[in-house]
A and B are shown apart, each in its own frame.
Chain A
Amino acid sequence: MVEIQEVSKSFQKTVKDKTAEIKALTDVSLSVRENEFISIIGPSGCGKTTLLKIIDGLIPHDSGQILINGKRVSAPGPDRAVVFQTFALLPWRTVLANVEFSLELRRIPKEERNGIARDYLKRVGLEEFEHHYPHELSGGMQQRAGLARALAVNPMILLMDEPFGSVDAQTRQLLQEELLQLWQREQKTVIFITHSMDEAVYLSDRVVIMTPRPGRVAEILDVPLARPRIADDVRRDPKFVELTNYIWDSLKKAMENGH
């Protein structure tokens, strides 16, 4: 279980000798249940990526605290793994070696890495591409490798930062379905950053709507759609349409209030 308690964060920004303080997040509170799929949605610059990095322990926060199963987060740990928007695959390593990289950093013995990495590549459907370099793969395939790299270290919590933001629309839908299937099999808590309303509704148990800078939680919305969710059926479901419309209105309101 992840508890985010009144987390605030400001950045110093220097423009032409003038240093200004920019509030990125103000008193963000949220608790995420075990194995829950939660999406955080908000306009650009609402600090959602900052929040994700704080949960991962990559950057410090100014006040408040993050607890994972009661333990305070201050640095990255083996219970979390990130899937990056720009994939962050090392171009000098093959797909297999990229997946092994996370295992290497987590000090998994050399003999075991290869087997684990290949197993996860298989789960994301990349077993035939393990010796390819990232630039030889499409964006969708690269992100599958990024997902395999994160899953390979067997984290409790998967932190996904707009993971499908840089692939085309059809690939995006495909990846969403695959992610849901994987999530149902692997039993993970997923915190998913997105700016796509139907992505958030299709994937999540709950959707967190954030306001523009400084980022605050405007609203937390339950998604009462039955699982397993078949993409084509769900998208035609009137409840789905109603929920995305609701999020749209809520985001609009949040943006108007914010300015």
Chain B
Amino acid sequence: MNNSRLKTNIMSVVILAVLWEIAGRTLDSVLIPPLSQIGSAWLRLLVSGKLLSNLMMSLWTLAAGFFLAVIIGVIVGVLMGRFRGVEYFLDLYINALMSAPMTAFVPVLILWFGLGVESRIAVVFLFAVFVIVINTMTGVKQVDRTFVEMGRSFGARETEVFFKIILPAAMPAVMAGIRLGMGRAVKGMVTAEMLLTLTGIGAMIMQYGSAFATDALFAVILTILIVAMITMKLVQVLDRRLTGWKAEIAIE
């Protein structure tokens, strides 16, 4: 990130914070608590350990579900991209599920997996996996044929064609899928917790929302935003590591 961009970003956050504080104080309503009050609620939650324990629970769910989504999503995407039979067999479902509202599946998953962590992991997985599959498949299919021809011409075996040409060439698209999948995984995590209302920061939202504890509610929401930002940043760092040779491509 360049310097002037960082400066503008900070300025934007500061202006928003000041406006919020002013609005909160002048309106004096429980619906929009001033930022300072949210801050102290946040500190309270932090000191009591409630925020951290719930956050750790959420992050564990997120990590497990997302990890599974990446592994399975990339494998299925590669198979679909490489073998037309697999693509034709699966693309119907993948495309339907890609745009279907995943929230609708949450009750089913709860019935299947119970109220424990398995359900939440399954939701995160389901939210993230399809966009990874589709991007990986597209990436694999769009590998420049000349690269493959070049490899074969110099005597590459099939495994070499795959690992030394197709996979690295598809990597920017795979990473784009992983980035989009990360965003969806965070949504999945919060959605599952909100519907289950047992543990995690999603549960805290429902709890404080129904208790009109708006300062704590906003404190939790801000925490989620920060978590989302940090996870996105992590994926971006990974992306640069793996595909630094490529100029920025993905569109969010």
Q: Chain A interface (Cβ within 8 Å of chain B)?
A: 53, 56, 58, 76-78, 80-82, 84, 86, 88, 90-92, 101-102, 104-106, 133, 153
Is B146 on the interface with A (CB-CB < 8 A)? yes
Is B245 on the interface with A (CB-CB < 8 A)? yes
Q: Are A56 and B153 in contact (CB under 8 A)?
A: yes
Complex Cα–Cα for A88 and B243 (A): 18
9 CB-based A-B contacts, threshold 8 Å: A53-B149, A56-B153, A76-B155, A88-B146, A88-B147, A88-B150, A90-B168, A91-B246, A105-B164
Given the known A-B contacts A90-B147, A90-B168, are A76 and B153 also in contact in the complex, defined by CB atoms under 8 Å?
yes
Q: Are B154 and A101 in contact (CB under 8 A)?
A: yes
Is B64 on the interface with A (CB-CB < 8 A)? no
Given the known A-B contacts A91-B246, A92-B245, are A76 and B168 also in contact in the complex, defined by CB atoms under 8 Å?
no
Residues on B with C-beta less than 8 A from A104 are: 164
**Nearest B residue (CB) for A104:** B164
Q: Are A105 and B147 in contact (CB under 8 A)?
A: no
Interface residues on B, range: 20 to 34
Q: Are A105 and B160 in contact (CB under 8 A)?
A: yes
Q: Are B153 and A82 in contact (CB under 8 A)?
A: yes
Q: Are A81 and B245 in contact (CB under 8 A)?
A: no
Complex Cα–Cα for A197 and B25 (A): 82
Q: Is the interface of B mostly helix, strand, loop or mixed?
A: helix
Q: Are A84 and B155 in contact (CB under 8 A)?
A: no
Is B39 on the interface with A (CB-CB < 8 A)? no
**Nearest A residue (CB) for B165:** A90
**Nearest B residue (CB) for A105:** B154
Q: Are A84 and B150 in contact (CB under 8 A)?
A: yes
What's the nearest-Cβ distance from chain B to residue A225, in Å? 31
B246's partner among A53, A82, A92 (CB-CB below 8 A) is: A92
Complex Cα–Cα for A92 and B243 (A): 8
Complex Cα–Cα for A56 and B155 (A): 11
Residues on B with C-beta less than 8 A from A77 are: 155
Q: Among residues 221 to 252 in chain B, which have CB atoms less than 8 Å away from a CB atom of chain A?
A: 243, 245-246
Is B97 on the interface with A (CB-CB < 8 A)? no
What's the nearest-Cβ distance from chain B to residue A57, in Å? 8
Residues on B with C-beta less than 8 A from A86 are: 146
Given the known A-B contacts A58-B149, A84-B146, are A133 and B154 also in contact in the complex, defined by CB atoms under 8 Å?
no
Residues on A with C-beta less than 8 A from B168 are: 90, 92
0 or 1 for each of B154-196: is its CB under 8 Å from A? (1 = yes): 1110001000110011010000000000000000000000000
Q: Are A76 and B152 in contact (CB under 8 A)?
A: yes
What's the nearest-Cβ distance from chain A to residue B167, in Å? 10
Q: Are B152 and A102 in contact (CB under 8 A)?
A: no
What's the nearest-Cβ distance from chain A to residue B131, in Å? 23
Complex Cα–Cα for A48 and B147 (A): 20
20 other contacts beyond A53-B149, A76-B153, with CB at 8 A cut-off?
A58-B152, A76-B152, A76-B154, A76-B155, A78-B155, A82-B150, A82-B153, A88-B146, A88-B150, A90-B168, A90-B169, A91-B245, A91-B246, A92-B168, A92-B169, A92-B246, A101-B154, A105-B155, A105-B164, A106-B155
What's the nearest-Cβ distance from chain B to residue A46, in Å? 20
Q: Among residues 102 to 151 in chain B, which have CB atoms less than 8 Å away from a CB atom of chain A?
A: 144, 146-147, 149-151
Complex Cα–Cα for A58 and B150 (A): 9
